[in-house]
Amino acid sequence: MKKLIIYFLIAIFFASTLYSLEIISYGVDGSSNNFNVMIKNRDPVVFFEYTKYDVITYYEIKLATSTQNLFSGNTIWYLLSSTNTENTINYMVREEIPKSFLIENTTYFLLLSIYDILADTKTINDKFFTTESAVSLKDNISLEIDYNNPFCPKNGEITKIRYLIKDKDFPVKIYIFTLSGKPIRKLADTVAIKDMLYTIDWDGKNENGEVVTKGLYIVSLIVEGNSSISKFIAIVDK
């Protein structure tokens, strides 16, 4: 029995020398330092992804209105939990932040700490901004134009395109087309993680950085294995 324990400890030691605790990606609603977190009628999702070599025993998530409050313990939301089959898929942990703790047009500071079986720890600081929104995304696959439609890119205006995939992670692409179907610009080519609400700002420019002419344009969300969804965007010149 003693030999088994010794072998186990040796194995852990060598594993710790080969692999260090790592967070591959993290953030709120799909990205780090996200300044487009929408809280209207939904709970935003904070996530982190770790390597298959790590055994996460537990993690902490702290939320505050300033960096100083994070470290002084004056948090507005705190979570201590462990990875399980309900919140972890393919080494990615997802937790919903209750929207009751948040208000629109506010910057929040996030402290994420993970701990492995060797008591090693990894801590990351982040922040996000809760943007004002006029829409709600409720369908399994949703696409909405939420901000400034129509808009005038000549005056430096932008529009906000929001999309949400609820069932499962899907590869997605988002294009801008003319009414005749000519591609103008590719805005996204990525994997959309389920339940995370993404926002893309479009400045009214094409792939060459030129402002497009006034008129109606189509934004299309193309989901692998599903039919696409399209919405209209209007460009004005004054």
Cα 225–chain centre separation: 22
Q: Are strands 56-64 and 106-116 parallel, antiparallel or unpaired?
A: antiparallel
Higher pLDDT, 14 or 117: 117
Question: Which of 115-119, 170-174, 202-206, 210-214 has the least mean pLDDT?
Answer: 115-119
Residue 168 confidence (pLDDT) above 60:
yes
Kindly indicate the confidence band of residue 18, based on its pLDDT and cuts at 50, 70 and 90. low
Strand partners, 49: 25, 92
Q: What stretches of the chain show up as alpha helix (H) in DSSP? A: 2-18, 67-72
Q: How far is Cα 192 from Cα 173, in angstroms, rounded to an integer?
A: 9
152, 203 contact by CB (below 8 A): no
Structural domains in the chain, sorted by start: 2-130 (2.60.40.10), 141-235 (2.60.40.1930)
Residue at 12: amino acid letter: I
Q: What is the pLDDT of residues 37-49, one digit of tens each?
A: 999 999 999 999 9
145, 231 contact by CB (below 8 A): yes
Q: How far is Cα 148 from Cα 157, in angstroms, rounded to an integer?
A: 8
